[in-house]
Structure 1
Amino acid sequence: MCLKKARLFTVGTFHNSFAIPKCPLQRNFASLPNRNLNQKFYENRVLDRYSSQDAKKVSLRQLVLFGRQLTEDKLLSSANYVRTELPVRISHRIRDFQSLPYIAGTNPHMRLVYDLYWQAFDEIRKFSQIRSLDDNRRFCKMLSRNLGTHSQVIPQLGLGVNECLTLITPTEIDQFMNKMLVARISRRTLAEQHIALSNQFDEDILSVSGESSLDHAPLGFSTQRTGIVKPACDIAQLLHGCAIKIQAQFEDAYDLPPDTAPQIVIEGNRDASFMCVPDNIEYIVYELLKNSMRAILKKGQANKGGVNADALPPIFVTICSNDQDITIRVSDQGGGIPYEILPHIWSYSNPEKLHCMDNFNQVNKLEAKVSESERTSPFLSFGFGLPMSRVYAQYWGGDIVIRSLPGYGVDAYITLPRLGTMVENLSID
C-alpha cells in the first residue's frame, strides 16, 4: 500500500530512518540528489526568506502607465522589480510542491517541474542588481531562456497528475494545479512584459542613435510603449481572427471544402474595446470556439453518417459591454454537455479526462498560446483547456460560466474587466 500522507519536509530526500513502503511511483527515489544536511538546511533557510514575503501584485493599468514616458531609469527599475519579485513568487510554488504527499512528490514528472522551479529560483535570485542597459540585456536573455525551458511545465504537470490520481484527492489536485497555473501566468506576464518593453526600448534607441547596444540611453531619451498589454483591444477583431483560424483548422481536419465549416457569427457591440493581454484572451476564445465547433461537427457526423456542411448550425458570438466589464457569449447547438460530466468540467482530475492527459506524451512543450493550437489536430485534447481558460479569466478579475442544455447546446459566458484596474488574482482555488 502506498504511503499518501508523508510530506516533503526538506528540499532533498527524507532522513534514512524514515521507512517508506515500496510503490511504483517511488521508482525514482533512489536517484534523487543526495545533498548533505548543511546544504539542505541552507537551501530551506534561503527559501524561507523569500516564501515569507507576499507577492507585490500589479494591474494591467499599472503596466501600461509604466510604459508611458519610458526612460532608462524606469526600464532598469522594471528589471530590478522583476529580478526581486520572481523569486518570491517561485518560492511559494516550491513550498506547494514540498507539501505534496511524499509519493506524489517523487513522481518523475512532478520532480522535473520541481527541479525546474529550483533552477529558476536560484538563477534569478543570484542575478546582480541591474545598473545599465547592457546588464538588462543579459537579464532579458536569462529570462527568455527560462521561459523556453519552462514550456515543459504544462505537459509534465499533466503527466504527473495523471499518474498521481490515486495518491491525492481530486480537491487537492485541483487546488494544486490552479496554484501552479496561476503562478505560471503571473511569472510569464511579468517576464514577457519586461522583455517586450526592453526590446521596444532598444528598437527606439536604434532609430534615434543608429546604435543597438548602447550601455546607456542618449541623454533625455524617452519613449512610449505598452509591452504585451493592449490598452484598447478591438474585441470584434480578436474574435474574427480566432474564428478564421478555427474554421480553417476544422475544414482541414474533416477534409471539408474551404469556407464550409460551421459559420461563426459575431454580433452585439462590435465596437467594444478593453485593456488586456491579447494572448490570454485569444487562448480563452479559441478554446471555447474549438469545443463548440468540435461538438457541432461530431453531432452532424453522427446524425448524417457524415458531415453535411449545409445542415450545420452556426456558432453565435455575442459581445456585450458596459463601463466596467465586457461579456462575450459563445452559443452553439452541438448537443450540450451530459449532466453527469457537467459538474467535472473545471476539474483536472475528472476520470473522463484520463485518456486526454495521456496525450501530453505527444508534446514536449506547451505555452498555452493559439499559435500552438493551430499546429495540432483539433481532435487532440489534453483535458486542461476549460480549467486553464477559467484561470486566465479569473487571473485578471474575470470569470467563465458554462450553461448547458443536454441534447441541444451550450452557452459559455466570458466576463472580463474593461479598464485594467484589477490587480492580479493570485489566490484562485
Structure 2
Amino acid sequence: MFIRSTQRCRRCLPIRFFNSSSTPLSLSEEVSILVNEYSLKPQTSVSLQTLFRTGRGELLENFDRNGGEAKSARYSSSPEVLMQVANFIHHELPIRLARRIKDLNDVPYLSDMSSVQAVKDIYISSFLSLVQEPTIDSPVREALFARKLELLYERHSSVLVQMAKGAFEFRQMLKNKEISSLEGEAFELMNDTHAFLDRFYMSRIGIRVLAGQYLALREPTMEGYIGLIDQHTSPYGILKKAAMDSSYMCENMFGSFPEVVISGKLDLTFPYIPTQLHYILLELLKNAMRATVEYHGNDPRMWPPIEVVIADGHNNEDIVIKISDEGGGIPRSNRKKIWSYLFTTVKPEIQKALMYGNDDELVDHSVHAPLAGLGYGLPISKSYARYFGGDLSIESLDGYGSDAFVHLRRLGDSLEPLPF
C-alpha cells in the first residue's frame, strides 16, 4: 500500500558501479551483494482500489473524509499525495528490480541471449540509479525524483520487445541444437523458461503500473481520471478503438479487414486502466482478423464478421467480453501452446525479419508492430487480465472458429499476483 512513508538509511554507491560506455553492466561482487540484499526484502502488493484511493489522497492522514467529491480533484495531484506515492515507489521499485535481476542472471541459457543481456543491463542501471536516491522529503526533491523516474520509464519502454527477441534467439538455439546436452532436457528447459518469462512479464506489468500511475498523477488531470485510472472506463469505447487499430494493422498486411460487430451492454462503465484493456482487446481482435482472412481466402466478401459481446449484470462479480471468430479454430495439439511465450504459428523466416528489422517499428504495444509473429501476445494479454484479478480464456472448435473470454474484476479489490 502507499500509506507507508519510507525513512531508510541511504546507501551511497561508488561511481565505479556505473558504466557509461556501451559495455554491458555485469553483476560485480559489490552490485551482487546489494541486489541480493534488496531481493530479500518483502514486496508490497497493491490493488486497483489502492491506486485509486491513494491518488485521491484518501490514504493521507489529514484527508477530510467529509469533503466528498469536491475535494478529490485537489488531493489527486497535491504535493502531499505526490510525495507519498514517490516515497512508496522509491522504496518498492528497487526490491522488484532486484528480484528480476537475480532471475535474469540465473535463468539457464536464456540469460546468454544478447537481447536478454541488454535487458539485464537496463535493469541493473535502473536499480542502481534508484537506490542512490535520497528520501523524498520536499516538493523539490519529489520533482527531481519524478524526472529521473520518467527517464527510466522511457528507457524500459521496449523491454517487452527485447525479451521477445531473446525468446526468439532461444528457440533458434534449441532448433539448431547448439548445446548438445539439451536433447534430453529440452522439455523441462522449455517449461522452466516459460515460468521465468511468466514471472518477468507479470513483474514488469506491476513496475510499469506503479511508475506510470505516479507520473500520470503529476500531469494535468483528465476529466474522470485518477492518474492512469479512468473512473468510467467504457469497454464499448475501447473495443471501437481496438477494432480501428486492428483493422489498420490487418489492412496493412492483407489489403482489407473483416467487419467487427459489437453488441451487449454498450453503456457499461467501471474503474479500470484503459491502456491495459486496449492491449488485451487489440491482441484478441488482430488474432481473430488474421485467422479469418487466412482461413477464408483473399476475397473480403467471403470474410464473416467478428462478433463481440459485452456481458454484465448488477450482481456479477466480473464483466465479461466475448470475441468470436470463424477463423478455423485452433488444433487441439496447439491449445496449450498458445499460452507459451515460446510458440508462434508464423513462419520462421517472417519471425526473423520481424526480430531483426527496424527496432523503431517494434516499440511495445505500437500499432506499427506486425500483426503477428512476436510470439508473446496471448500470454501477455492473460497476464494483463490477471493482474487486477481477471482472466483470459479461449475455447475453440477446430475447423470452425474460436471464442475468447475476457473476465475483468468489477470491484478492483484484488491484489497484484506478484512473482517471487
TM-score tier, shorter chain, comes to 0.7 to 0.9
- Counterpart CA distance in 2 for 1:33 and 1:119 is 7
- Counterpart CA distance in 2 for 1:126 and 1:382 is 36
- Counterpart CA distance in 2 for 1:403 and 1:192 is 33
- Counterpart CA distance in 1 for 2:332 and 2:136 is 55
TM-score (norm 2): 0.79
* Native 8 Å contact 1:296 1:313 kept in 2: yes
Question: 1:236 is matched with which residue?
Answer: 236
Question: 1:249–1:105: structure 2 CA closer, same or farther, 3 Å change rule?
Answer: closer
Superposition deviation, residue 235 in structure 1: 1.0
Residue 62 in structure 1 maps to residue 46 in structure 2: no
Superposition deviation, residue 66 in structure 1: 1.5
Among 39, 49, 52, the alignment partner of 2:40 is 52
Question: 1:97–1:353: structure 2 CA closer, same or farther, 3 Å change rule?
Answer: farther
Among 373, 378, 385, the alignment partner of 1:381 is 373
Superposition deviation, residue 176 in structure 1: 0.9
Residue 191 in structure 1 maps to residue 211 in structure 2: yes
Letter in 2 for 1:385: G
Question: 1:84 is matched with which residue?
Answer: 91
Give the secondary structure class of the aligned counterpart of 1:275: strand
Superposition deviation, residue 175 in structure 1: 0.7
TM-score (norm 1): 0.78
Residue 314 in structure 1 maps to residue 309 in structure 2: no
Could you report, residue by residue, the CA deviation over 1:23-55 in whole angstroms, capped at 9, with x for unpaired residues?
xxxxxxxx87688xxx50x32321222111121
Question: 1:276–1:311: structure 2 CA closer, same or farther, 3 Å change rule?
Answer: same
Question: 1:119 is matched with which residue?
Answer: 125
- Counterpart CA distance in 2 for 1:404 and 1:363 is 35
Question: 1:178 is matched with which residue?
Answer: 198
Among 141, 153, 157, the alignment partner of 1:151 is 157
Q: Which 5+ residue runs of structure 1 have no aligned equivalent?
A: 1-30, 204-222
Question: 1:266 is matched with which residue?
Answer: 262
Could you report, residue by residue, the CA deviation over 1:230-275 in whole angstroms, capped at 9, with x for unpaired residues?
122111111112112322433343334xxxx322111111122222
Q: Which 5+ residue runs of structure 2 have no aligned equivalent?
A: 1-22, 57-74, 175-181
Question: 1:26 is matched with which residue?
Answer: none
Comparing 333-342 with 129-138, which one deviates more in the overlay? 129-138
- Counterpart CA distance in 2 for 1:338 and 1:95 is 37
* Native 8 Å contact 1:162 1:354 kept in 2: no
- Counterpart CA distance in 1 for 2:224 and 2:249 is 37
Give the secondary structure class of the aligned counterpart of 2:359: coil
- Counterpart CA distance in 2 for 1:200 and 1:85 is 25
Residue 395 in structure 1 maps to residue 387 in structure 2: yes
Question: 2:286 is matched with which residue?
Answer: 290
Give the secondary structure class of the aligned counterpart of 2:333: coil
Question: 2:145 is matched with which residue?
Answer: 139
Comparing 266-275 with 388-397, which one deviates more in the overlay? 266-275
Letter in 1 for 2:274: P
Could you report, residue by residue, the CA deviation over 1:173-229 in whole angstroms, capped at 9, with x for unpaired residues?
11111111111111110111101101237x9xxxxxxxxxxxxxxxxxxx9960011
Superposition deviation, residue 62 in structure 1: 1.2
Question: 1:43 is matched with which residue?
Answer: 31
Work out which of the two has the higher radius of gyration on C-alpha atoms and give 1 or 2: 1
Residue 415 in structure 1 maps to residue 415 in structure 2: no
